[in-house]
Amino acid sequence: MASSSVVHSVNVPVRSISLPSRLQLNSIETEVNELKTFGVSLCSQKTQGGGVTICADFTRLAKLYNNIVEVIQSPHTHRTLRHQQNVKPVEEALDNSVRLLDACGTVRDLIMMMKEQVQDLQSALRRRGRDSSIGNNIHAYISFRKKLKKNIAKSLGLLKRLECYNNNVAFPIFDVDCHLSRVVKSHKQSNAVAISMFRFTLYMLHGRVPKKDVKIDARVELRRLETLPATIEGLEEGLDCLFRSLIKIRVSLLNILTP
pLDDT digit string (tens) for the chain, length 259 residues: 444 333 333 443 444 555 456 778 888 989 999 888 765 555 555 444 455 678 888 999 999 999 999 999 888 888 888 876 677 888 888 999 999 999 999 999 999 998 888 888 878 777 765 555 667 777 788 888 889 999 999 999 999 999 998 888 766 555 445 778 888 889 999 999 999 999 999 988 887 555 555 555 656 666 666 767 778 888 999 999 999 999 999 999 999 888 6
CA distances from 211 to 128, 169, 252 (A): 22, 43, 49
Would 2 be classed as within a structural domain? Answer: no
Give the contacts of 55 (CB within 8 A, at least 6 positions apart): 231, 234, 235, 237, 238
Would 35 be classed as within a structural domain? Answer: no
Look at residue 128 in the predicted model and tell me its pLDDT. 63
Look at residue 24 in the predicted model and tell me its pLDDT. 80
Number of domains, the chain: 1
What value does the CA radius of gyration of the chain take, rounded to a whole number of Å? 23
| Domain range enclosing 174 | 51-257
Handedness of CA 64, 70, 76, 82 (dihedral sign): positive
Would 95 be classed as within a structural domain? Answer: yes
pTM, two decimal places: 0.81
Would 36 be classed as within a structural domain? Answer: no
Beta carbons of 71 and 18 less than 8 angstroms apart: no
Look at residue 204 in the predicted model and tell me its pLDDT. 84
Beta carbons of 219 and 112 less than 8 angstroms apart: no
Would 45 be classed as within a structural domain? Answer: no
Would 3 be classed as within a structural domain? Answer: no
Would 156 be classed as within a structural domain? Answer: yes
Would 111 be classed as within a structural domain? Answer: yes
Question: From CA 155, how far away is CA 113, in angstroms rounded?
Answer: 15
